[in-house]
Amino acid sequence: MQIAGSAAVVTGGASGLGEATVRALVAGGARVVIADRDETKGVALAKELGAAVAFAKTDVTDAAQVQAAVDAAAALAPLGIVIQCAGVGWAARTLNKEGVAHDYDLFKNVVAINLVGHFNVLRLAAAVMAKNAPGPSGERGVVVNTASVAAYDGQIGQAAYAASKAGVVGMTLPIARDLSAAGIRVCTIAPGTFDTPMLAMLPEAAREALGAGIPFPKRLGAPAEYAALALHIVTNAYLNGETIRLDGALRMPPK
């Protein structure tokens, strides 16, 4: 898929991995819609990056809001690229130290945003992409999902998060097979520990300890490294149905 001249939707695009991806796509010549719940950051980023970028306030679990973001992108140029970075990471044990059960609504909410929200965006974007004129190889679009190493190495307190991210990994291949007839590729990135705004709230000593636990390189991942892999997936037409760990060889311990 050619980046230049294509429209893209980036969910969670107002900060962190999503923001880095938006910047990389714009640098490559794409028109981008930032789909995010954070209107303040999203509008500010769109204003900074200029006419090639628009913001659409989007809750990925809301079909109407997602459809509006997808339609906004398709109005800019043929929608060929969707990169999904929206997600939440609340943690709780199945039973806490007092023996109280995990909050049921919390579990459902994490799965709703991280997994069901991913599918919601993907299905609506695919319906638009399928109407594109095919490229030389028959390609009409590409979707890059975001899972996590927690899909494989979930830690104590990550039952909801790990389940949601494992679901993203699990649906990648069947959806890629589903959409093969439409010429739409689907891949997933499973990041390890990245230097995002969430980790920026930790004390510097804690951030350094996290980085030191990564085999090599011994540091947190940079959002630009995620963006570089996402754009490589977009441009490499033979990558399909695959989940790629991006983690410096990290394997998470129980806690």
- Residue 161 is among the residues annotated as catalytic for this protein: yes
**Cβ-contact 125, 82 below 8 angstroms:** yes
Measured distance CA(55)–CA(62) in Å, rounded:
16
Measured distance CA(205)–CA(96) in Å, rounded:
27
**Cβ-contact 176, 185 below 8 angstroms:** yes
For the purposes of burial, counting CB atoms within 10 Å of the CB of 169, is it exposed (0-12), middle (13-18) or buried (19 or more)? middle
Measured distance CA(230)–CA(9) in Å, rounded:
13
Q: Could you say which of 104, 152, 161, 226 is catalytic? A: 161
Measured distance CA(79)–CA(90) in Å, rounded:
32
**Cβ-contact 161, 114 below 8 angstroms:** yes
Helix (H) or strand (E) holding 7: strand 7-11
- C-alpha closest to that of 86 among 104, 106, 65, 101: 65
- C-alpha closest to that of 145 among 111, 127, 121: 121
Active-site positions?
161
